[in-house]
Amino acid sequence: MEVPENLKNPQNARREGSNMKCLADYSVEKEVGEGSFSTVYLARRKEPKNDENPEVALKICLKRLILKNKMVPYIHREKEALALISREENAHPGIVTLYATFQDSESLYFVLEYAKYGDLCTLMQKQPDSKFNVADSRYYAANLLSALEHIHKLGIIHRDVKADNLLVKSDGRIMLTDFGSSKFLSDYQKIQENPVEEEQPTGRRSSFVGTAFFVTPELLTGSEMSPSSDLWAFSVTLYLFLTGIYPFNDMSEYLVFRRIQDILYTFSEDFPDENAKNLIERLLVKEQKSRLTSQEIKEHKFFESIDFEHLEQLEPPRIY
């Protein structure tokens, strides 16, 4: 897709005396992704002038669409969560870094860490049998778990964990992205004490926060979500990596939800790993308190070979 003219030659220059970033500080190279309310471009900082200016992902959200679809709280949540995670003392290599945000009359801009190889779901579908081998699944799952443990310690639940929200960087390592559905834990507890209807954005109004295959039983029953909700989605993701299919799947969203509520899923005869099977069985559990904790997952036999303290020393899979 061509980069629109207004992004190549932005009219609005920096305000006098301000050190806020603006569109004119970046050269926009190509479109790399499109969502319902945003477009992501590969861009580079113009200063300092040399060839090594790092690539960034420039996510552009049109204000008109954000307002029309009642997405304002989601944009705020994403910015607040990413700003907290991107503080130097909270940095984690498995989570996308937010470098800057700015706006003009038409758009909101997020300047993000760039992931050269795109999302893990698309990459998985391009593998010879549309799934990952056990070693690669373990590598990605361990890194996802580490990222989740980190955000949970910061008091954030992601609430939209899925392979599509894991991006692969130029060195093959992954990072968790899209914090638009996330929630601050304390915030959530306040809501529980003093319940208020959360306004749902248009298009999601009659449905839910997240993606059908990864939805938790607690979301379907309207119960409180907790960090263990992300661990449910972690186990759905691990099942997907190992088999190329979703544990809960059916002809319609409604039937998928029924299966989730009834915990109706199976392992095929040729499911590739007994330890992974046991781990998944202990996470796809209706009662949140009965699911394994992230500490228990790290200590599970499936991750016996993984040193979670030194994940960065593992060689990433070459899947691209």
Q: What positions carry a catalytic annotation? A: 160
Q: Is 59 annotated as a binding residue?
A: yes
The sign of the torsion formed by the CA atoms of 76, 1, 43, 145 equals: positive
Please, what is the angle between helix 274-281 and helix 227-243, to 10°? 150
Give the CA angle between residues 46, 49, 52 to the nearest 5°: 85
CB of 120 to ligand ADE, least distance (A): 12
Q: How far is the CB of 23 from ligand ADE (least distance, A)?
A: 17
CB of 42 to ligand ADE, least distance (A): 7
Helix (H) or strand (E) holding 183: strand 183-184
Interaction site with ligand ADE (CB under 6 A): 32-33, 40, 57, 96, 112-115, 118, 167, 177
CB count in 10 Å sphere of residue 20: 11
* Minimum distance of ligand ADE from residue 78's CB (angstroms): 12
| Residue nearer to ligand ADE on the CB measure, 166 or 306 | 166
Q: Read off the tokens for 78.
A: 């994403």
Tell me phi and psi for residue 235, to 5 degrees: -75, -35
**Which tokens go with 79?**
């910015």
**Contacts by 28-33, CB closer than 8 A, 24 or more apart:** 28/3, 28/58, 29/3, 30/1, 30/3, 31/1, 31/3, 32/57, 32/118, 33/118
C-beta of 97: minimal distance to ligand ADE in Å?
Answer: 9
User: For residues 177 and 235, which CB has a smaller minimum distance to ligand ADE in the complex?
Assistant: 177
Nearest to ligand ADE of 33, 172 (CB atom): 33
Q: Name which of 110 and 248 has its Cβ closer to ligand ADE.
A: 110
CA distance 255 to 248: 9
Q: Tokens 């029924």 identify what position?
A: 258
Q: Which is nearer to ligand ADE, 237 or 243 (CB)?
A: 237
- Torsion angle of alpha carbons 216, 222, 228, 231, nearest 10°? 20
Other Cβ atoms within 10 Å of 25 Cβ, number: 18
User: Which amino acids are annotated as binding site for ATP, given as ranges?
Assistant: 59
User: Which amino acids are annotated as binding site, given as ranges?
Assistant: 59
